[in-house]
Amino acid sequence: MTHNDNRAPADVPSEVTEMVPTWDDEYIDRVSDRLMHNFDLERDYVVSGESFQLYGELRMVARKRFFHPALNYGDHERRGYVFTRRCEDPTVESIEALVDLGHTLANEWIEADEEHYETSFTFVLVVDAIPDDVRSFVDGFRDRTLLKYGYFGHYEIIPLVVAPRRKVIVAGEAAELADAFALWRDLENGSRSLWSAIADRLLPG
């Protein structure tokens, strides 16, 4: 199945859009239009017995060079994963279960070494309404784990809950992807794009 939504920006190469699935869910399909610039996307993804309508993976490598491009040092890798599904009855317990899943995936997926800088696991629940206790739990949530005291980088688990019809979104502290899911907002925030927000966290400074 190929992506044929005419909402996709005109500057996106056709070979990219042809590799992006389409979703029967209009909201998630429109979100994919925003994510496809930076993420490899899949639909109906299952991991550890959990199903997600949309899954995305991002890999970035920053290389420092010494005078000549052939002389690289200090390579740093960042990976980002996003898991999205609809949820009829969001609870704090259901979000805690996703946080636990994030820790499980971190143990299984991360190759902790000197080149690893950061991995993020963003879990998105698309809901009709956000209960107060869920809002309180997710708002400003931070779960950051250092690997070998930070020598092998770190990973973050980021919950995000969005009620598109109500135009409400609540996210963990490090959720750069919130704008991609807030379709009622302009993706551009001043001169900063979604890509800029992600790239800024690849390396400090």
Q: What pLDDT sits at residue 159?
A: 97
| Overall number of domains in the chain | 1
Cα 119 to Cα 33: distance, rounded to the nearest angstrom = 23
- Let me know if residue 7 belongs to a domain: no
Q: What pLDDT sits at residue 8?
A: 46
Smallest CA-to-CA distance from 118 within 177, 64, 78 is with 78
- Let me know if residue 189 belongs to a domain: yes
Q: What is the DSSP letter of 166?
A: G
**Which two three-digit tokens encode residue 70?**
């052939």
Cα 92 to Cα 137: distance, rounded to the nearest angstrom = 7
- Let me know if residue 6 belongs to a domain: no
Cα 133 to Cα 91: distance, rounded to the nearest angstrom = 8
- Let me know if residue 182 belongs to a domain: yes
- Let me know if residue 2 belongs to a domain: no
Q: What pLDDT sits at residue 66?
A: 47
- Which residues make beta-bridge pairs with 161? 125, 170
Using alpha carbons, list the distances in angstroms from residue 50 to 53, 55, 88, 105, 151: 10, 12, 15, 12, 31
- Let me know if residue 133 belongs to a domain: yes
pLDDT tens, the chain, 205 aa long? 334 444 444 455 555 566 779 999 999 999 999 999 889 999 999 999 999 999 999 987 554 544 445 444 455 688 999 999 999 999 999 999 999 999 999 999 999 998 899 999 999 999 999 999 999 999 999 999 999 999 999 999 999 999 999 999 999 988 889 999 999 998 754 334 555 555 555 444 4
Range of the domain at 26: 14-199
Q: What pLDDT sits at residue 179?
A: 93
- Let me know if residue 130 belongs to a domain: yes
State the sign of the Cα–Cα–Cα–Cα dihedral 91, 123, 109, 78. Answer: negative
Q: What pLDDT sits at residue 196?
A: 53
Q: What pLDDT sits at residue 192?
A: 45
- Let me know if residue 90 belongs to a domain: yes
